């Protein structure tokens, strides 16, 4: 019995170690034997580590034998002159000089309103009337006195011309007539202030004060009248553009809310620089035939302030800067097939538009400029061109 247990243990180990060569992983999993499963796992891990080591040896050897291992892959663009237009982008607000809130010239009760919202009116049209407070009756009385004074003066004048009567009687009649006429004229001027007339042709946009309300001269808002024909956009322009923004220059105007774009022109440039923000004002005339453009509407403006008919443009992302503050890019030299030498080119830049920037010096027509991979190359380094443009 003492020798049976060692024999059984040796037999089990033999079966688990040697006998599993014919067993698949599925068979081992099905056996549910923990020791056998662990043994198989350890064996596979050891083989995996052995294969990984051999793969690494092969990769290292291939890397040493590969002549292109340190050559960066790049793409290029060709320096080609083209017409470049730089646009100054601004934001402005639509205005009209004929947008007015009417107020009465005389205090009193708003007796009558002759228009309603949306009515088209012409210049001089009667819009409303203020109660005159009895001035009409006063005028009637004055007019009677004025008529009598006129008749008296005309008779006295005829007598004086016939050398009948005294000069003082003639002068008294004349002064009385002129004084009553002046009184009538003054009351007519006062009565004229009781009527509200349209100062220009347009549309009644809003009737603010209702009929029967008490109004105060120069304070009570009666109604708003708007003319949408003479519309313009007003905006501020930085003083640095004072030499390039002139009257008559074409402006591309966009109204985001309306989804509408139009071409307009600058009709007036300001002659005063605002010391608070160093800007000057410009006015841009806006055609509005369909009357879809309203006062205070926001507009985006693009003004062509600079044009270069032979500009070279490159992406801003490929430009680097050295320790001296100079900007540079890489161009190709000694090109041989898809191999070339990267050469550092010091450049000076001009205006930008979107993601591109104008090159003023440092590039020539036809130069091959490194685009993708520009940040990973060095001066005089060999590069390989792929997908060259």
| φ, ψ for residue 314, nearest 5 deg | -135, 160
The confidence score (pLDDT) of residue 67 equals: 59
d(CA 20, CA 110): 112
Identify the burial level of 121 via C-beta atoms within 10 angstroms of its C-beta, where 0-12 means exposed, 13-18 middle and 19 or more buried: buried
The reported pTM is 0.57
| φ, ψ for residue 273, nearest 5 deg | -95, 120
- Contact (Cβ atoms closer than 8 angstroms) between residue 200 and residue 98: yes
DSSP string of 10-42?
HHHHHHHHTGGGG--HHHHHHHT-HHHHHHHHH
Listed in sequence order, the residues at least 6 apart from 185 whose beta carbon sits closer than 8 Å to its beta carbon are none
d(CA 351, CA 88): 11
Number of Cβ within 10 Å of residue 103's Cβ equals 17
Domain limits, CATH 2.40.30.170, in the chain: 229-306
- Give average pLDDT by consecutive 10-residue segment, the chain, 389 residues: 39 43 75 84 89 85 66 88 90 90 91 91 93 85 88 86 82 89 89 90 91 90 90 93 90 93 92 93 90 91 90 92 92 87 92 89 91 88 77
Domain limits, CATH 2.40.50.100, in the chain: 100-225
**CATH 3.50.50.60 for domain 73-84+309-385:** no
Number of Cβ within 10 Å of residue 255's Cβ equals 19
The confidence score (pLDDT) of residue 68 equals: 62
For domain 100-225, give the CATH number. Answer: 2.40.50.100
What angle, rounded to 10 degrees, do the helices at 167-192 and 135-161 form? Answer: 150
d(CA 183, CA 188): 9
- Contact (Cβ atoms closer than 8 angstroms) between residue 349 and residue 359: yes
What angle, rounded to 10 degrees, do the helices at 4-17 and 34-65 form? Answer: 40
* CA proximity to 250, closest of 230, 232, 267, 233: 267
Dihedral of CA 135/136/137/142: which sign? positive
The confidence score (pLDDT) of residue 191 equals: 87
Tokens, residue 292:
């879809």
**pLDDT, tens digit, for every residue of 270-302?**
999 999 999 999 999 998 888 889 999 999 999
Give me the sheet containing 99-102, strands edge to edge.
Answer: 99-102, 223-226, 202-207, 120-121
Domain limits, CATH 2.40.420.20, in the chain: 73-84+309-385
Alpha carbon separation from 107 to 173, 190, 201, 220 (Å, rounded): 36, 11, 25, 9
For domain 229-306, give the CATH number. Answer: 2.40.30.170
H or E stretch including 7?
A: helix 4-17
Number of Cβ within 10 Å of residue 149's Cβ equals 20
The confidence score (pLDDT) of residue 14 equals: 42
Tokens, residue 262:
């139009």
CA angle 276/279/282 to nearest 5° reads 135
The confidence score (pLDDT) of residue 153 equals: 87
The confidence score (pLDDT) of residue 278 equals: 94
CA angle 70/74/75 to nearest 5° reads 165
Mapping DSSP to helix (H, G, I), strand (E, B) and coil, where does residue 53 land? helix
Dmax (CA) for the chain in angstroms is 182
């Amino acid at each position: 019995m003492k020798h049976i247990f060692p024999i059984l243990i040796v037999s089990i180990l033999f079966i688990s170690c040697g006998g599993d060569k014919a067993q698949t992983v599925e068979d081992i999993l099905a056996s549910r034997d923990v020791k056998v499963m662990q043994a198989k796992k350890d064996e596979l891990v050891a083989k995996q580590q052995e294969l990984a080591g051999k793969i690494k040896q092969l990769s290292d050897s291939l890397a040493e034998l590969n002549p292109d291992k340190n050559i960066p892959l790049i793409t290029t663009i060709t320096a080609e002159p083209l017409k470049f237009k730089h646009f100054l982008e601004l934001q402005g607000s639509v205005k009209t000089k004929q947008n007015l809130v009417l107020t009465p010239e005389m205090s009193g009760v708003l007796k009558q309103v002759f228009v309603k919202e949306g009515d088209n009116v012409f210049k001089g049209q009667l819009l409303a009337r203020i109660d005159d407070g009895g001035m009409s009756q006063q005028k009637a009385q004055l007019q009677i006195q004025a008529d009598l004074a006129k008749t008296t003066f005309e008779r006295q004048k005829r007598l004086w011309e016939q050398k009948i009567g005294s000069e003082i009687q003639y002068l008294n009649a004349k002064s009385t007539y002129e004084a009553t006429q002046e009184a009538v004229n003054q009351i007519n001027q006062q009565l004229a202030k009781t009527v509200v007339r349209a100062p220009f042709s347009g549309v009644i946009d809003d009737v603010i004060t209702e009929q029967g309300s008490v109004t105060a001269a120069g304070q009570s808002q009666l109604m708003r009248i708007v003319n949408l024909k003479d519309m313009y956009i007003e905006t501020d322009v930085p003083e640095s553009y004072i030499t390039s923004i002139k009257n008559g220059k074409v402006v591309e105007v966009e109204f985001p809310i309306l989804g509408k774009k139009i071409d307009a022109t600058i009709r007036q440039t300001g002659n005063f620089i605002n010391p608070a923000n160093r800007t000057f004002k410009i006015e841009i005339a806006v055609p509005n035939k369909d009357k879809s453009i309203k006062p205070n509407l926001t507009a985006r403006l693009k003004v062509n302030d600079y044009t270069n008919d032979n500009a070279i443009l490159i992406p801003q992302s490929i430009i680097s800067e050295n320790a001296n503050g100079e900007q540079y890019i890489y161009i190709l030299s000694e090109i041989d097939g898809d191999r070339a030498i990267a050469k550092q080119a010091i450049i000076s830049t001009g205006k930008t538009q979107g993601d591109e920037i104008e090159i003023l010096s440092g590039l020539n027509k036809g130069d091959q400029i490194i685009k993708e991979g520009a940040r990973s190359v060095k001066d005089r380094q060999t590069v390989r061109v792929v997908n060259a443009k």
